[in-house]
Amino acid sequence: MTSSVAARTYQVRTYGCQMNVHDSERLAGLLEDAGYRRAAEGADADVVVFNTCAVRENADNKLYGNLSHLAPRKQADPNMQIAVGGCLAQKDRAAVLRRAPWVDVVFGTHNIGSLPVLLDRARHNRVAQVEILDALAEFPSDLPAARESSYAAWVSISVGCNNTCTFCIVPSLRGKEIDRRPGDVLAEVQALVDQGVLEVTLLGQNVNAYGVSFADPDTPRDRGAFASLLRACGAIEGLERVRFTSPHPAEFTDDVIEAMAATPNVCPQLHMPLQSGSDRILKAMRRSYRAKKFLGIIDRVRDLMPHAAITTDIIVGFPGETEEDFQDTLDVVEKARFASAFTFQYSPRPGTPAADLDDQVPPETVADRYRRLIDLQERISLEENQAQIGRRVQVLVAAGEGRKDTATARLSGRARDGRLVHFAPGALAEAIRPGDIVSTVVTAAAPHHLIADGGVDEHRRTRAGDATRTDDGQRVGTAVGLGIPTLGAPAPEPQGQTGGECESGCSW
């Protein structure tokens, strides 16, 4: 490590799903191990890393637009470096340099551990470095991490996906599914809990397929491995909340539902991608389930967990979708009573079978259906949240997530079912830290959050809360998600009820 590297700062900009967020924490850890330090908020960094998504068409526009904004700075300071990784880099490869020749490093989804070496090589040789591997070099979970949160953490249980959904490009970029050994997953969870983490989110492109293809050839195939993993997490003392994302309805089995219900620290929250309520469209999407099966899963979940909050992904305007098909989707949404839905207007992705279909739906029709779906889901979300009024909730206080305006003096956090709660701390305002647990009663509701203005009944200080204060006692202001959908107002560009690219990693 040279003195010049030791003084260099970095910034990682993340687009896409939780898997990308997990990878970005590993990229940050790698850079810090190599002597870089995180750039201060609002400051220009010496190294800017883009960890990209390729799921939707606007992902390309967003990346190349941001790269163009950095071009003048790069021209003024040749020592500043720009790296592009993630799914879009895996897809575009050398094309990134053709469109943005001022980029220094391009790396893919399979070799994020190469970033520090590639930056050194590019700086030393004064030439851009492109390294894209077609197979996984090492599990990202085996790399060092610089986590954004002291209280919530991502834990990858697998990478890749064996599904062949016609709209999705992710499997071709992440590769076939490879599962980590259960012992390795549980060891990582235990290590996180030992550091004070209260909540973990188990990540996979299709978590309930876990066990079909372990990286260790001596570990036998086990289709019940995910249910067993959930139960094993329940035995870890100090682990208060377990979430996972995302399952696939075709492989969601009763043993997982039973494990969720029987394991106290598994949260009563489920993200289950629907995509369409039309059986004809589901078949065209190669989604190997139908509306009846999907609704049956939800019924069984609610039989064992009556208060579970269920969220979903839905695509509007898939090629060939008729008004009748769309009405089928509205019917399923009405029956399912989702707490929230990530809704997307279909956009063709080159390299996917759906992109070559002739019967693309006119944009104005897609926009109209999208708005109708949003209106329906907004009504349901409000009704479901209003049903929470009067209920006592346990809130894990968040660092900057969804904080209300200062005039209300409310703090924010997540209930066990994943709902965002804005609560009045009262006289405890200065004592409550991000990572602490409070108990309060819901007094009002909106489509995307709950309000608890009756005060805090109980406040439990935690080790995670201790860690969210700096040495001078000030709060750490970094906004941190809790491994669940961001239930906020729709972003300016139509993306449904989330500020992110997608929730489920592989679903859309």
- Point out the annotated binding site for [4Fe-4S] cluster: 17, 53, 87, 161, 165, 168
Q: How far apart are CA 290 and CA 228, in angstroms?
A: 27
Q: How far apart are CA 333 and CA 377, in angstroms?
A: 7
Q: How far apart are CA 436 and CA 460, in angstroms?
A: 6
- The span from the first CA to the last CA of the chain, in angstroms, equals 41
Q: In the chain, helix, strand, coil percent, each to 5? A: 35, 20, 45
Compute φ and ψ for 28, nearest 5 degrees. -65, -40
**CA-CA distances (angstroms) from residue 78 to 18, 36, 393, 455?**
33, 18, 53, 54
Q: Which residues contact 214 (CB under 8 A, 6 or more apart)?
A: 178, 179, 180, 181, 220, 221
Q: Which two tokens stand for residue 109?
A: 């989804």
Q: Which two tokens stand for residue 60?
A: 């390309």
Length of the chain: 508
Q: Which residues contact 114 (CB under 8 A, 6 or more apart)?
A: 107, 131, 137
Locate tokens 């004592």: which residue? 431
Q: Which two tokens stand for residue 410?
A: 């409310």
Locate tokens 């029956």: which residue? 335
**Residues 265/234, Cβ–Cβ less than 8 Å:** yes
Q: How far apart are CA 151 and CA 240, in angstroms?
A: 10
Q: What residues are paired with 178 via a beta bridge?
A: 159
**CA-CA distances (angstroms) from residue 8 to 37, 67, 120, 261?**
7, 20, 12, 48
Residue 488 class from Cβ within 10 Å (0-12 exposed, 13-18 middle, 19+ buried)? middle
**Residues 356/349, Cβ–Cβ less than 8 Å:** no
Phi-psi region of 320 (alpha: psi -120 to 50; beta: other; left: phi over 0): left
Q: Which residues contact 174 (CB under 8 A, 6 or more apart)?
A: 19, 87, 109, 159, 160, 161, 205, 506
Binding-site entries:
17, 53, 87, 161, 165, 168
Q: Which of 392, 474, 461, 406 is nearest to 432 (CA)?
A: 461
**Residues 34/70, Cβ–Cβ less than 8 Å:** no
Q: Strand, helix or coil at 363? A: helix
Cis peptide before 24 (omega within 30 of 0): no
Q: How far apart are CA 114 and CA 131, in angstroms?
A: 8
Q: How far apart are CA 196 and CA 149, in angstroms?
A: 10
